[in-house]
Amino acid sequence: MGIEYDGSSFHGWQLQKSGVRTVQLMLETALSKVAAHPVRTHCAGRTDTGVHGEGQVIHFDTPSVRAMRGWLLGTNVNLPDDVNVNWVREVPESFHARFSATSRSYRYVILNRPTRSAIWRHRAVWIHQSLDVEPMQAAAEHLLGTHDFSSYRAVGCQAKSPVRTITRLQVTRQDDRVVIEVTANAFLHHMVRNIAGVLIAIGKGEQPVEWSREVLEYRDRTLGGVTAPPEGLYLVHVGYPEEYRLPIHGGGE
C-alpha cells in the first residue's frame, strides 16, 4: 500500500507501548477490520513525531481475499481524515517494504518570510531571517556521494553503519519557501533534519559554505549543527526494483 498522512497530530509512525496515537496504530486498526483478523504492517521508513508522509509504502501479510478496490476503500473508510491509502498492489513473498527499497526521497520545506503563517504552521518550518539559497546549494554538494554520516545522525541512532549514499541534494527557492530535496539509498535517524540544520545556518550566513564538509569530516554528532524541527519534513517517495511494478506517483499508476 502507498500511504500519505499529515504527521501533525501523530506521535510518529511506530506503535508505542503507551498506546499513544501513531500512524501505524491507526492503519493497523483499519486494516484489521477489513481483513477480519489482526494485521501487522511493515513500513519503508519510520517517521518521527510531526513528520509527514506523501509516499510512505507499507506491506502486510494476510490470508484474507479481497479485491484491490475493497482493500483500498475499506481501509480508507476506517481511517481518520489525516491518514489515507492511495494505492494497493498484491506483491510476491520476496517483497519487503523496508528491505526491498533501493532509495528514499525526502523534502524539507522552510517558510522564509518576515511573518509566520496560519496555513503552513504545521507543514513548514518558519524562519524569518533571509536565507541565501546559493551558498546552501554549494554546501549541499559537499554531502553528495558515499560518506560516513556520523555527524549527521542522532546520538541515539541504532543503525549498525553510519555510511550512506546521497544521490541528490538540491536547494531551491519557490517564492517565500525554500525547499531542500534529498534522495539516498537509506537514511540515518534525524539525518535529513540535521542536514537541514547545517544548511539553514549556512543560508543565514552564520557559517561558511565549507562548514557542511567540515561537519561531515568530524564524524562526531556533538560537533554538528542544530537539528531542524520536524514540521517541514516529508517522506515523498520510496524507490523499488521495477519487477514489483509499484506506482511511481501517489494516486495511481
Query: Among residues 241, 234, 212, 235, which one has the least CA distance to residue 224?
Result: 212
User: What pLDDT does residue 253 have?
Assistant: 39
pLDDT at 251: 44
Neighbour-count burial for 75-85, b at 16+ CB within 10 Å, e otherwise: beeebeebbbb
Catalytic residues: 48
106 is in an annotated binding site: yes
What 145-149 contacts at long range (C-beta under 8 Å, 24+ apart), as own/partner pairs, is 147/216, 148/216, 148/219, 149/188, 149/191, 149/216
Question: Using CA atoms, how far apart are residues 50 and 48, in angstroms rounded to an integer?
Answer: 6
What is the distance between the alpha carbons of residues 5 and 86, in angstroms, rounded to a whole number? Answer: 10
What pLDDT score was predicted for residue 249? Answer: 59
Where do the domains of the chain lie, and which CATH numbers do they carry? 2-99 (3.30.70.580), 107-232 (3.30.70.660)
DSSP state of 153: S
DSSP string, 154-218: -TT---S--EEEEEEEEEEEETTEEEEEEEES---TTHHHHHHHHHHHHHTTSS-TTHHHHHHHH
What does the alpha-carbon distance between residue 27 and residue 76 come to, in Å, rounded to a whole number? 9
Using the structure block, give the residue that is written with the C-alpha cell 525554500. Answer: 178
- Per DSSP, the three-state class of 69 is helix
- Tens-level pLDDT at each residue, the chain (253 residues): 999 999 999 999 999 988 899 999 999 999 999 999 999 999 999 999 999 999 999 999 999 999 999 999 999 999 999 999 999 999 999 999 999 999 999 999 999 999 999 999 999 999 999 999 999 999 999 999 999 999 999 988 989 999 999 999 999 999 999 999 999 999 999 999 999 999 999 999 999 999 999 999 999 998 888 999 999 999 999 999 999 999 875 444 3
